[in-house]
């Protein structure tokens, strides 16, 4: 429903139309609002709770993180300005570098795996039958299960002896037994697999929404032109899903960057630091060793990384569209 349609509609005739979530340009919708006069403070009254809470729990903490990152935090003694010393210390530390590398591996693995599997799943379960609705709901369950439960469940499934659940499955195809999260060689990959198990169904749902938006006429045209299914997917479906890919990429990559709970519960960074990621490192620096300045510097760097990633992908997207 566009703005003009809404205006042309007689008052109150179809209040339900409000239910449609429409995409419009912001500038067009503002014009009409001017007619409602009223005291200047009314909008601020409605906004006050949000503004206070955002100030207290988003903006002040962010400012505090930045300010602590350039200070040596000394409780009761007063903080000491150290400039970029925290940054240079953390950037030159071996632990930070390996945690950065692990975080990148985790983020790339989870992003690629979830998107690829999510796309395949979406193709497989697209359709309107009742059976498919059931399968879709079942496949989506991992997304709504609390991450702490997912981690505890997989921890047991990853039991390193031959009678662990997943090792029994590996045994069926003649492999195993693997140490999974207990073996430094497979620990990070195991966390990636758990992440994909939870991330792929989410991506699947978004892809399904994207698939529903593809013009069926294009499929018919492809059939008329004698295109194979493979060609149809490559040349009709994939280009149609391009914006979905861009958004899922940002969401999944940021999800990978900020990964904490599953790592904390499955391995807590071990064995031998093989799964230490930035968030678990920051947690240990800040809360276990109480080195707030260094931990804040790490958090600010991680935030900058997610920001740069988001902005880059958005810019690439704009350029391609233009």
Partner 1 sequence: MSAATETALGLTESKSPAARVARTVIYAGLFVVFAGPLLALLVSSFNHVSDPTQLSVIPKSPTLENFKIAFDHGVLKYLLNSFFVVGFGLLLQVAVSVLAGYALARKIFPGMTLVMVAILATMMLPEEILALPLTLVLADVPLLHLNLMGTLAGMIVPLGAWAFSILVMTEFMKDVPRELEEAARIDGAGEFRIFGQIILPLCKPALGVIGVFGFTMIWDQYLLPLLVATNSDSYTLPLALRTLRIDPVVTPGVVMAASLLALLPSVTVFLFFQRSFARGLTAGALKG
Residues within window 97-116 making contact with partner 1, judged by CB under 8 A: none
Determine the interface stretch with partner 1 among 88-96, 105-113, 183-191, 231-239 (rule: CB under 8 A): 231-239
Work out how close the CB of 180 gets to partner 1 at its nearest, in angstroms, rounded to a whole number.
12
Is residue 250 a contact point for partner 1 (CB under 8 A)? yes
If the CB atoms of residues 80 and 165 are measured against partner 1, the closer one turns out to be: 165
Question: In sequence order, what are the residues at sequence separation of 6 or more whose Cβ sits closer than 8 angstroms to the Cβ of residue 149?
Answer: none
Question: Which residues, 19 to 58, sit near partner 1 by CB under 8 A?
Answer: 19-23, 29-30, 32-36, 38, 40, 42-47, 49-51, 53-54, 56-58
Q: Which residue has the tokens 């998107």?
A: 115
Q: Which residue has the tokens 């309107």?
A: 128
Number of DSSP helices (H) and strands (E) in the chain, helices first: 17, 2
Is residue 243 a contact point for partner 1 (CB under 8 A)? yes
The answer to whether the beta carbons of residues 17 and 11 sit under 8 Å apart is: no
If the CB atoms of residues 188 and 208 are measured against partner 1, the closer one turns out to be: 208
Question: Which residues, 119 to 178, sit near partner 1 by CB under 8 A?
Answer: 121, 123-129, 131-132, 135, 137-142, 144-149, 152-157, 159, 161, 163-165
> What are residue 185's phi and psi, to 5 degrees?
-75, -30
Is residue 79 a contact point for partner 1 (CB under 8 A)? no
d(CA 232, CA 219): 7
Is residue 12 a contact point for partner 1 (CB under 8 A)? yes
d(CA 237, CA 213): 10
Work out how close the CB of 92 gets to partner 1 at its nearest, in angstroms, rounded to a whole number.
21
Tokens of 248: 């899922």
Is residue 312 a contact point for partner 1 (CB under 8 A)? no
Binding mask 264-283 for partner 1 (x = CB under 8 A): xx-------------x--xx
- Going from the C-alpha of 176 to that of each of 88, 196, 256, 317, the distances in angstroms are 43, 21, 28, 43
Rg (CA), the chain: 25
3-state secondary structure of 269: coil
Question: In sequence order, what are the residues at sequence separation of 6 or more whose Cβ sits closer than 8 angstroms to the Cβ of residue 258?
Answer: 279, 302, 306
If the CB atoms of residues 101 and 287 are measured against partner 1, the closer one turns out to be: 287
Work out how close the CB of 272 gets to partner 1 at its nearest, in angstroms, rounded to a whole number.
20
If the CB atoms of residues 159 and 187 are measured against partner 1, the closer one turns out to be: 159
């Amino acid at each position: 429903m566009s703005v003009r349609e809404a205006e042309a509609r007689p008052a109150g005739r179809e209040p339900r139309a409000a239910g449609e979530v429409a995409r419009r340009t912001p500038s067009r919708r503002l014009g009409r609002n001017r007619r409602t006069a009223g005291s200047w403070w009314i909008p601020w009254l409605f906004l006050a709770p949000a503004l206070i809470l955002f100030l207290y729990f988003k903006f002040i903490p962010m400012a505090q993180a930045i300010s602590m990152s350039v200070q040596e935090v000394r409780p009761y003694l007063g903080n000491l300005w150290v400039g970029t010393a925290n940054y240079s210390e953390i950037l030159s530390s071996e632990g930070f570098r390996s945690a950065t590398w692990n975080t990148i591996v985790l983020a790339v693995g989870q992003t690629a795996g979830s998107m690829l599997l999510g796309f395949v799943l979406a193709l497989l379960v697209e359709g309107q039958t009742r059976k498919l609705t059931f399968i879709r709901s079942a496949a989506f369950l991992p997304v709504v299960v609390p991450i702490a439960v997912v981690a505890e469940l997989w921890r047991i499934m990853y039991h390193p002896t031959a009678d662990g659940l997943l090792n029994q499955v590996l045994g069926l195809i003649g492999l195993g037994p693997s140490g999974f999260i207990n073996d430094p060689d497979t620990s990070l990959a195991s966390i990636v697999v758990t992440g994909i198990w939870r991330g792929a169904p989410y991506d699947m749902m978004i892809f399904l929404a994207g698939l529903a938006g593809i013009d069926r006429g294009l499929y018919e045209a492809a059939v008329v032109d004698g295109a194979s299914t493979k060609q149809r997917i490559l040349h009709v479906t994939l280009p149609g899903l391009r914006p979905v890919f861009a958004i899922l990429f940002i969401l999944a990559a940021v999800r990978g960057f900020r990964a904490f709970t599953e790592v904390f519960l499955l391995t807590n960074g071990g064995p031998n630091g093989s799964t230490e990621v930035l968030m678990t490192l920051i947690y240990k620096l800040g809360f276990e060793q109480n080195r707030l300045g260094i931990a804040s510097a790490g958090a600010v760097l991680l935030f900058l990384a997610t920001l740069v990633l988001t902005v880059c992908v958005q810019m690439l997207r704009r350029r391609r569209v233009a």
